[in-house]
Amino acid sequence: MLFEDLALEDRKSYLGGYHNKYGGRNEPRSQVFLGWNRMTSPHLGLSILSLITVVIFMFIYKYPYSYVPYIIIMLYPLWWLAITISYKSWGRGLTWIWACITLALLLVVPPLVLMLNILLDGFTFILIFFVVLFIYSASYYLMIKRKA
């Protein structure tokens, strides 16, 4: 019973708006929500997305079937969306220019995958598209970070 009361008091004081045990009012914690620091969440999200991208690359390398162009296509807008959300840059003109570049890449990638699959041996074309994805996402990230 004592431990349950302590846990309840900890939750009350953590969420703010309740009186603490010394009689003063706790200030609401706006920077931390349930143990998640808002300052590190954009970087954590981008780190998780980069891990997912590497896993997708390894999966495509191991099991190359007809779905390769579609998976590669989905990574470009996913990176654009993740970087745009993490820096809250919806109102900038350059963000929408990069969105148009993303749409252009969506139209260009499938025919390029088909042509490079015929012209290049092995998985060189997959490597080329992931290098282009890295250049695309790194340049967009650096541009948004510099403007932020």
* Residue range 82-129, pLDDT digits in tens: 999 888 899 999 999 999 999 998 888 888 878 888 888 767 888 888
More confident call, 39 vs 56: 56
Q: Would you mind telling me the total number of residues written for the chain in this entry?
A: 148
User: pTM surpassing 0.75?
Assistant: no
In this structure, the number of other CB atoms found within 10 A of the CB of residue 115 comes to: 11
Mean pLDDT confidence for 20-49: 59
Question: 111: phi > 0 → left, psi -120 to 50 → alpha, else beta; which?
Answer: alpha
Three-state secondary structure call for residue 11: helix
The span from the first CA to the last CA of the chain, in angstroms, equals 50
Residue bearing tokens 């191991």: 62
> CA-CA distance, 84 to 90, in Å (whole number)?
7
Residue 33: pLDDT above 70? Answer: no
Residue 48: pLDDT above 80? Answer: yes
pLDDT at 61: 87
R_g of the chain, CA atoms, integer Å: 23
Listing DSSP states for 27-89 in one string gives PP-SSEETTEETTTHHHHHHHHHHHHHHHHHHHHHHS--TTHHHHHHHHHHHHHHHHHHHHT-
Three-state secondary structure call for residue 13: helix
pLDDT at 58: 92
More confident call, 79 vs 114: 79
